[in-house]
Structure 1
Amino acid sequence: MGTAILAKHYSAVVVGGGQAGLSASHYLTKAGIDHVVFEKRTAAHKWREQRWDSFCLVTPNNQCLLPDHPYDGPDPNGFMRKDEILAYLNHFVEKVGAPLFENTEVRLVEQTSTGFRVESAAGTMTCDSVILATSLYADRFVPRAAERLPRDILQLHTADYRNSESLPDGAVMVVGSGQSGAQIAEDLHLAGRKVHLVTGNAPRCARFYRGRDVVDWLTDIGQYDITIDHDGMTKKKHDTNHYLTGRDGGRDIDLRKFALEGMQLYGRFIAADGPVMHFKPNLKRHLDDADRVYNGINALIDKHIAEKSIDAPPPSVYAPVWEPAEETTELDLHAAGITNVLWATGFTPDWGYVGVPIFDGTGYPMQRRGVTQVPGVYVLGLPWLWTWGSGRFLSVAKDADYVVSHLCDHLSQAAPALKRAIAG
């Protein structure tokens, strides 16, 4: 894996060796396009190095549809754990056999009069097109307020969490209730640790409803085929994922139930003053909004079942099993016995190497289905690049296939124009 000698020119350069970049390489090879893939670390390293020990998929294995590499194991309706995911990805890496340079950072991509110039740790080259497949999850994000917490409290980002046993004794504060935060809070809770969870605006979803996995219902309804071009869908690119889990065969994550079992819940974190953390009094709103989405998804399934006259178990509506008696707006970590703070606050993108004008006012790439406004520049692997599954194993192959097809058309159109420019 990896080429020994770097060429001076390629038809395409792919930046990023995760599932998106490797999917692009698969289709580029299939189309006979000479290319190279640069990966700052190692192929699919985030799955290997930034996942906790009990990590598992939250979507069924049957949604693992990397190009020419669908899940073919014994449990299509189950949820692969970390070691199984790595085996699936390792096999994909071997199957693609990409011209991959690992541990090779791309430092600059810039436009030239005839194409693009790419500076990498392995050398500089020119190319006719570039696929940026580095996603939005480049760097750990931790709010600057974390700097104000006492040094005797261990602080970790969720990317560095492995298991309960690896943390010092004492209670744990998890900041953030998205997919990672909610699942890690559960992991600690099941291990018998006292957990404090700072909530956010993440919605939740049932795991199973009316006899089936909700993902299967949503697939039948066509939710995964809705594109960002549909009315009102553009904002989805920044939405937080629903929290649920595939652990132990899959189940709901109900923060209210955790509270009944002793987990302490808070509204959004806003500041720290030494050992004292401050929160907005919006816990109830967060819980109510998450339940509203939960019941809304189930109602969508109810409508589908009624319209299709499907024989299924009766419908139900989630009723809160716990309500906050009051809103806690501050907490002294020392007094509460909290010795660990886990920041489930997500990641930030790193587009600093991109010297091509493809971004909007928020720093997000302007694109339609991966095609930017700069001819020859493409993006892949972003959440809601085109559909719900764009950033996941479900649809990254479809996006990569489309992008590479467009890239091939671009190359065929650009070549005659370049020859005419040179001749002129």
Structure 2
Amino acid sequence: MPSDIRQVDASDYRNAADLQSGAMLVVGSGQSGGQIAEDLVEAGRTVFLATSRTGRLSRRYRGHDILIWLVRSGFLDVPRKELIQPSGRIPARALLGAVHTISLQSLSAKGVILLGRFMDLEHVSHFSFADNLEENLRFADEASANVKRHIDEYIARTGTEAPAAEPDPAEIVAARLPNPPIRSLELTGSGITSIIWCTGFQGDFSWVRVSGVLDAMGQPLHEEGVAAIAGIYFAGLDFASTRKSGTILAIAEEAASLVEHIGASLTR
């Protein structure tokens, strides 16, 4: 990696003004990547976005913020065991804009240059990308459509009053894709001066030095926050018990569940 290329983790990003002039490469198109890419391009920066296989949510649907529907319909109550991938990894959170819908196509319409998944640093200043950009676009579109279908079925099943669905501008705008697709990028030649890594977050539990508590990846072995070793608990884990786990919506009920478990263990 050229020494003059600044590398920034998503957690350290604040705004475009903090970064030196030049083009930006954002790696990852989940919530952080999508929102940061939009922030940068709206600040007038040239932005390359390495996309990923990530779902998408509309910000609003049928008269409500999407989260209201996800809570009411039980979408967020899907248990952990139905969400864990065969590899044991938890799924990535869908791209959800803070105040409006963000899609890969809406980002491209604003000028963001879309790339496939980041693959490797070919040599000191060349990045390579997979030929899966259109696949990533389809996956996000299908994820959004599936969530809306779930909400529609809930509305019909319960007889809930709701306005008809309206097209979301961010989802119906045509994608502007590089032609031909960009499979390799020379950082300096492309004017890139900063890379923002938005490749996901994982807890650092290296401070836990109790045998049998962590798996081979250094993550807790647990059942709904209750560790495999008696007397150890983890609160606030992503997807700990349901899709809602790890969000502010789950704090109260999951904390109460852990307290109940602790109380029961003390009375045995």
TM over 0.5: yes
The aligned amino acid for 2:110 is E
Match of 2:147 among 278, 283, 297: 297
Deviation at 1:368, TM superposition (A): 1.5
Tell whether 2:229 aligns with 1:374: yes
CA distance in 1 between counterparts of 2:83 and 2:248 reads: 21
Aligned twin of 1:386:
241
CA distance in 2 between counterparts of 1:349 and 1:189 reads: 30
- Between the aligned residues of both structures, percent identity stands at 35
**Preserved CA contact (<8 Å) 1:389 1:396:** no
Match of 1:216 among 68, 74, 81: 68
Deviation at 1:308, TM superposition (A): 2.8
Tell whether 2:263 aligns with 1:408: yes
CA distance in 2 between counterparts of 1:258 and 1:402 reads: 41
Using a 3 Å threshold, how does the CA distance of structure 1 residues 168 and 281 change in structure 2: closer, same or farther? same
**Preserved CA contact (<8 Å) 1:199 1:286:** yes
Aligned twin of 1:241:
93
Aligned twin of 1:345:
199
Using a 3 Å threshold, how does the CA distance of structure 1 residues 308 and 399 change in structure 2: closer, same or farther? closer
CA deviations 1:23-51 (Å, max 9, x no partner) are xxxxxxxxxxxxxxxxxxxxxxxxxxxxx
Aligned twin of 2:185:
331
Structure 1, 384-393 or 280-289: larger mean CA deviation = 384-393
Tell whether 2:188 aligns with 1:188: no
After TM superposition, the structure 1 = structure 2 runs for residues 300-319 of structure 1, keeping only pairs within 5 Å, are 300-315=150-165, 318-319=171-172
**Preserved CA contact (<8 Å) 2:84 2:91:** no
SS of alignment partner, residue 405 of structure 1: helix
Gaps of 5+ in 2: none
CA distance in 1 between counterparts of 2:110 and 2:181 reads: 18
Bigger relative contact order, structure 1 or 2 (CA pairs below 8 A, ≥6 apart): 2
Using a 3 Å threshold, how does the CA distance of structure 1 residues 179 and 151 change in structure 2: closer, same or farther? same
Match of 2:80 among 222, 228, 231: 228
The aligned amino acid for 1:349 is G
Aligned twin of 1:255:
104
Deviation at 1:362, TM superposition (A): 4.2
CA distance in 2 between counterparts of 1:332 and 1:157 reads: 21
Deviation at 1:160, TM superposition (A): 1.5
The aligned amino acid for 1:279 is F
CA distance in 1 between counterparts of 2:83 and 2:193 reads: 42
Tell whether 2:21 aligns with 1:169: yes
Structure 1, 307-316 or 394-403: larger mean CA deviation = 307-316
The aligned amino acid for 1:332 is E
The aligned amino acid for 1:285 is E
Match of 2:55 among 189, 193, 203: 203
What TM-score do the two structures reach when normalised by structure 2? 0.89
After TM superposition, the structure 1 = structure 2 runs for residues 124-143 of structure 1, keeping only pairs within 5 Å, are none
Match of 2:209 among 323, 347, 355: 355
Number of aligned residues = 260
Deviation at 1:319, TM superposition (A): 4.7
Match of 2:174 among 300, 321, 335: 321
Aligned twin of 1:13:
none
Using a 3 Å threshold, how does the CA distance of structure 1 residues 158 and 234 change in structure 2: closer, same or farther? closer
Larger Cα Rg: Structure 1 or Structure 2? 1
The aligned amino acid for 1:212 is H
The aligned amino acid for 1:300 is H
Deviation at 1:369, TM superposition (A): 1.6
Deviation at 1:412, TM superposition (A): 2.8
CA distance in 2 between counterparts of 1:242 and 1:233 reads: 13
Using a 3 Å threshold, how does the CA distance of structure 1 residues 220 and 196 change in structure 2: closer, same or farther? same
CA distance in 2 between counterparts of 1:162 and 1:192 reads: 16
Deviation at 1:373, TM superposition (A): 2.4
Gaps of 5+ in 1: 1-148, 414-424
